[in-house]
Amino acid sequence: MSLSRLTQFIGWPVVTGLLLGFCIILWVNSDRNGEQKFSDKNFHIGNLSPSASNPNEWSGPISYSDAVDSAAPAVVNIYTRTKLKSRRHPLLDDPLFRHFFNNSDLPQQERMQSALGSGVIISTEGYLLTNNHVIEGADEILVLLQDGREAQATLIGTDPESDLAVLKIELDRLTAINLGDPANAHIGDVVLAIGNPFGVGQTVTQGIISATGRYGLGINTYENYIQTDAAINPGNSGGALIDARGNLLGINTAILDKTGFSVGIGFAIPADTAIRAMQDLVSYGQVVRGWLGIEAQQMTPELAMSFKLQSSTGVIITAIYNNSPAHKAGLRPGDIILRMNDIAVSDGRLSMMQVAQGRPGDEIEIEVLRNGEAMVVNATLGVKPSNN
């Protein structure tokens, strides 16, 4: 074989091998440079921590086990039993039936109905919070702790208007949950819901805060919910909504779905609201709220036009209770409330919440529009009569 043909035969494999080797060298160097680049950034995949010199980088734990370990022992399962009397057959009271069969005095039969929910231990003295609808009408309330202990609970008090109830159990070595700060919670914060869905046992679900200050849903009289997409299902009611550090943010209360199953829209009562209600129920047997004594209607564009107003903000007083704080302050039906304590009134239900968050005896400054003229009225909040 001639030299020229030999060179042609082995030339292409040699060139191909050299090119391949060159590519491998470039790839190895590139990979090493990439590793060095991540190392320079202090990028730790274990905890997803940001660089101290680059605080704008994202961060966050890959596990919330510490938060769950802290909060879960304070979340309990609640089981209730209610005695229901069976319906008495009309024939048992019929005179002819009584004459021939003489069994009209048969005792009325009873059956038991069971329900389940969740609760949160607030103090080591045994006080715990749950929802009113969890224990409403119950003849027997059983609390099961995470450590397997159980106890009969005593009902301390309920507040149906906010759907809260306070129970007490007599056990030692109780773990109380750490309280968070719902006022400083932000949309997008990671939250965990702990409860007993469908009675399967204590379960933790994870999501974020979807919204705050939700009201006007028609669920309860007083509404100021934290909305979350953490799964909340039947049995979760009364359980804990906690932050990523295990602090209580709210009491899980309701879901927005006609099927009764979670679709990512759940609501929790803020912890500060629930704690205040618990303190009132323990101290006074009822939740003490401020009361002004008016009935009001939301201002609409049509009403604003009839009053010759440029704006449809505010609420119009439609009725005033006799001897109420509003009556004593000189407010009248037809007055349009524009501001309360220098806060613009834009929604009637929100204004009702603002008044209710006050205490009897608190002074409130009300700016009203009467016959086209603005004026300021000072009122002292009272206590809502029990028959109203």
Give me the DSSP letters along 345-358.
---HHHHHHHHHTS
DSSP letter assigned to residue 231: -
SS3 150: strand
Indicate if 283 belongs to the active site: no
Query: CB–CB of 245/125 below 8 Å?
Result: no
Task: Summarize the chain as % helix, strand, coil (round to 5).
Answer: 25, 30, 40
| Cβ neighbours for 105, distance < 8 A, ≥ 6 positions apart | none
Q: How far is Cα of residue 37 from the mean position of the Cα atoms in its chain?
A: 44
Alpha helices in the chain (DSSP H): 3-40, 65-71, 95-101, 132-135, 271-284, 301-306, 325-329, 348-356
Interval 306-329 mean pLDDT: 86
Q: Is the pLDDT of residue 86 over 60?
A: no
| Lowest-confidence segment of 254-263, 279-288, 304-313 by average pLDDT | 254-263
**∠ CA 120-124-126 to the nearest 5 degrees?**
65
Residue 148 Rama label (left phi>0; alpha psi -120 to 50; beta): left
Q: How many helices (H) and strands (E) does the chain have?
A: 8, 19
Task: Look at residues 136, 380, 161, 168 and name the one whose alpha carbon lies nearest to residue 287.
Answer: 161
- Cα end-to-end distance, the chain, whole Å: 115
Residue 63 CA to residue 57 CA, distance in Å, equals 19
Given pLDDT bands bounded at 50, 70 and 90, which one contains residue 94?
low
44-48, 188-192, 346-350: least confidently modelled range:
44-48
Higher pLDDT, 144 or 27: 144
* Per-residue pLDDT band at 100 (split at 50, 70, 90): low
- 3-state DSSP assignment of residue 106: coil
Per the listing, tokens 């702990």 go with: 194
Rounded CA gap, 237 and 250, in Å? 11
| Annotation says 237 is catalytic | yes
Instruction: Name the 3-class secondary structure at 164.
Output: strand
Mean pLDDT calculated for residue range 75-87: 82
CA neighbor of 112 nearest in space, from 84, 86, 133: 84
Catalytic residue among 118, 237, 262, 324: 237
Residue identified by tokens 């961060």 is: 59
Q: In the predicted model, what is the mean pLDDT of residues 128-148? A: 94
pLDDT on residue 23: 64
Range ranked top by mean pLDDT from 18-32, 253-267, 276-290: 276-290
Cα 241 to its chain centre, rounded Å, is 7
Residue 8's pLDDT is: 56
Spatial contact of 255 and 265, defined as CB atoms under 8 Å apart: yes
- DSSP states of 169-181 as a string? ---SSPPPPPB--
> How many whole angstroms separate alpha carbon 279 and alpha carbon 285?
9
pLDDT of residue 90: 61
Greatest Cα pair distance, the chain, in angstroms, is: 132
- What is the token pair recorded at 117? 């929910």
Q: Which residues pair with 251 in a beta bridge?
A: 240, 269
The C-alpha atoms of residue 125 and residue 146 are separated, in whole angstroms, by: 17
Q: What is the pLDDT of residue 272?
A: 94
Residue 93's CB is within 10 A of a number of other CB atoms, namely: 10
The token pair at 55 is 């605080």
> What percentage of the chain exceeds 90 in pLDDT?
49
Per the CB < 8 A criterion, the answer to whether 254 and 266 are in contact is: yes
Q: Are 337 and 314 in contact (CB under 8 A)?
A: yes
Catalytic residue among 118, 159, 162, 163: 163
Cross-strand pairs, 365: 378
Q: Which two tokens stand for residue 119?
A: 């609760």
Task: Determine contact, residues 214/227, Cβ cutoff 8 Å.
Answer: yes
**Average pLDDT in the chain:** 82
Q: pLDDT at residue 93 above 70?
A: no
